[in-house]
């Protein structure tokens, strides 16, 4: 790997970690477009629970991986929500980068073997 490519990848990884770990803590907690559309037609109480009406959100259920360590944009067991989101975002970026780098490494080795 060339030195310039290494610096480029390191810089990109650093930017991704900063965005996922730090900036994600300042994202809006308001429902996004999909959530807002799914909630149309229902009435809610002060806690955000559905109290009446008809909407798609009434059919939602708990996700099968809802109890996983990285569920809900945080790390289970970390008491500080800022640190929990920071760690989960950083872990997500590093895991994704590792899987991607591994796939590229396998594909590159395979091309050399075929040639």
Contact present, 55 and 41 (Cβ < 8 Å): yes
- Condensed to tens digits (0 to 9), the pLDDT of residues 58-99 reads 888 888 888 888 787 888 888 888 898 899 889 999 999 999
pLDDT of residue 100: 93
pTM of the predicted structure, to 2 decimals: 0.67
- Would the pLDDT of 44 be above 80? yes
Contact present, 20 and 104 (Cβ < 8 Å): no
Alpha carbon separation from 38 to 11, 13, 41 (Å, rounded)? 39, 35, 8
Model confidence band, residue 47 (pLDDT cutoffs 50, 70, 90): confident
Question: How would you classify residue 18: left for phi > 0, otherwise alpha for psi between -120 and 50, otherwise beta?
Answer: alpha
């Amino acid at each position: 790997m060339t030195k310039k490519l290494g610096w480029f990848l390191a810089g990109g990884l650093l930017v991704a970690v900063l965005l996922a770990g730090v900036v994600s803590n300042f994202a809006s907690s308001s429902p996004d477009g999909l959530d807002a559309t799914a909630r149309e037609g229902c009435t809610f109480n002060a806690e955000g629970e559905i109290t009446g009406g008809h909407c798609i959100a009434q059919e939602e259920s708990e996700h099968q991986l809802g109890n996983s360590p990285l569920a809900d944009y945080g790390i289970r067991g970390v008491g500080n929500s800022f640190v929990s989101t920071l760690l989960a975002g950083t872990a997500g970026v590093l895991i994704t980068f590792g899987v991607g780098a591994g796939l590229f490494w396998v594909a590159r080795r395979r091309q050399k073997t075929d040639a």
